[in-house]
Amino acid sequence: MTRIPIARPLLGDTEQDAVAEVLRSGWITQGPRVEAFEKAVAARVGAREAVAVSSCTAALHLALVVAGVGPGDEVICPSLSFVATANAIVHAGARPVFAEVDPATWCLDPADVETRITERTRAVMPVHQVGMPADLDGLGAVCGRHGLQLIEDAACALGSEYHGRPVGAGAYLACFSFHPRKILTTGEGGMIVTSSSELASRLRRLRHHGMSIDDRVRHEANTPLEEDYLERGWNYRMSDLHAAVGLAQLERLGGILDARRQIVARYRRALAGLPAMLAPFEPPGRRTNHQSLGLTLLPDAPISRDALMARLLDAGIATRRGIMTIHRASAYRDAVGDLRLPHSEEVSDRSLLLPLFVPMNGETVDRVCAELRCALSGCRQLER
């Protein structure tokens, strides 16, 4: 029996043709396609500037650097996130301070964030977890009261909306991912959007070793130009090959979002009334892109999360454990000591991610739901 994957990128002839065109052009590194992709993403999310980089981790690192975060500083972020959120803070020389999430939305709790602010706090980094927008109004108010920068880890949130505006619109700094498990993929890649042209100029310089002259300017000049290196940067460039795929993917975005919402609606109808709930909860004014679909088991569920995952895998259905908690990872455990975050830990321990991809037909959704209904109703495994 064919296994149902948890995710699958939607790629086809359009993407192949776009890559072939770049190969024929002879310019395959950072060039005109990257610039076009930046402009297209900025327009899509309503941002003044967009700067393409090699990954969202690189984007978060550079965003922290241009925001002035460095050694001795603290950045408050959720522990309920992929480890890259905290790693980027460490790479900037700062210390991640883990705060609690709202267990309904899986996103940072502004009230808990405020209790963790110290004289060393420089920024707050919310994560729009699995595409659910964080409480930007609440977090923005906290940052405003304490003079802190708000830097958004929007890795999963391209196409999500906050009070009718795309995530990233008007952001000081927000960072997107184009990993294959995201809504839009370039294979690997990331994008920083910002409302500041000055920050965007510095970001473009830092992603290219601190070089004073853009490659296109240098290669298209009628006279020889000698570059300088104004500060110590990194090689965080995106290639035109990746950007070409991104441009083709961006044309599909509206249809992908509609299809994912229809799939989730089918899941909701089929799983209603069971001792589990689809997650995270979508509050008024926040619209997720459904980058991933979580299922949280209630206390009266007749099966544990891990046993449910094993049963589904035996039935040919792939799942993943809920979002990790960084403070319990080996790389951070010693640094944080006996830190306890009950809400984050409960969400992580009692949830799993279900298959969700485009195209995922109704028959496939129904097969997943049938296995779930049987497991959560205490019945024996379905015959196949």
Point out the residues that are catalytic: 182
Token pair recorded at residue 140 = 């923005």
Three-class SS of 246-289: HHHHHHHHHHHHHHHHHHHHHHHHHHCCCCEEEECCCCCCEECC
C-alpha–C-alpha distance, residues 377 and 20, integer Å: 51
C-alpha–C-alpha distance, residues 228 and 213, integer Å: 7
C-alpha–C-alpha distance, residues 148 and 130, integer Å: 25
Residues 6+ positions from 216 with CB-CB distance below 8 Å: 31, 32, 35
Token pair recorded at residue 31 = 């060039």
In one letter, which amino acid is 246? Answer: G
- Residue 384: helix, strand or coil by DSSP? coil
For residue 317, the cross-strand partners are 4
Please spell the DSSP secondary structure of 53-93, one letter per residue.
Answer: ES-HHHHHHHHHHHTT--TT-EEEEESBS-THHHHHHHHTT
C-alpha–C-alpha distance, residues 47 and 14, integer Å: 26
